[in-house]
Amino acid sequence: MVIKITENEFNNDSQESNDEEYEPETYEGILKDLKVIVKGENISLLHNRGYYGEIIDETLELDPIESLLMVERNRVVVHTEDGQEFGYKELAEYFVNEIPRFWTRYLVYKDLRNRGYIVRKGFGEDIEFRVYERGATIGEDTAKYLIHPVIEGSPLSLTNLSKITKIAQSSRKKLILTVVDRQGELTYYDCKNFNI
């Protein structure tokens, strides 16, 4: 088996998301167990317009990566249960200290969202994100890409690369390796299996 890696179209795709112009409202969220819980009448708007979080029992649960992006975009104000407000910097530091590889994952997530893609959680540790085409409808359309972030200079074993390539192939998705360099710049690579 041969694995072919080529640069991906994401590298040349500079379309900015129009996501920010939809939500003039700022929501209040409570940080609880590494999630931000948002309550309010219009939480379905935040969820449906960008497919952020999961609606559970009339609340919107944002995972750490979604939470930080929402704080950065001034869409959510986060407080602890005892009322302490977390700004962007404090929330970023908190998540970086609590979650391995958080910053790398956040940079990839933010870049894809800025390009207008719908990004959802992936499968386990190896497939970090599922990425849907722009304009996709969750529940009707399926993800087109699976994303595996790699820190420049970090080893990636051929065994692991083969494993994640097979996962992508069996789920009929394109595997994208996202290399994050020391300056936080991202380069996207297609990764495909070829049998010889």
pLDDT digits (tens, 9 = 90+) for 44-92: 888 887 889 999 988 999 999 999 999 999 999 999 999 999 999 999 9
Burial of 53 (0-12, 13-18, 19+ CB in 10 A): buried
Please determine, for residue 183, whether its predicted confidence score (pLDDT) is greater than 60. Answer: yes
Structure pTM? 0.86
CATH 3.40.1170.20 boundaries in the chain: 19-98
Residue range 30-53: average pLDDT?
Answer: 88
The predicted structure's pLDDT at residue 4: 55
* Contact present, 153 and 142 (Cβ < 8 Å): no
CATH 3.40.1350.150 boundaries in the chain: 2-15+115-194
CB under 8 Å, gap of 24 or more: what pairs does 54-61 form?
A: 60/27, 61/35, 61/36, 61/37
Distance CA 120, CA 65 (A): 10
Residue range 14-30: average pLDDT?
Answer: 65
- CATH 3.40.50.720 applies to domain 19-98: no
Backbone φ and ψ of 110, nearest 5°: -60, -45
Task: Tell me the CATH class for 2-15+115-194.
Answer: alpha beta
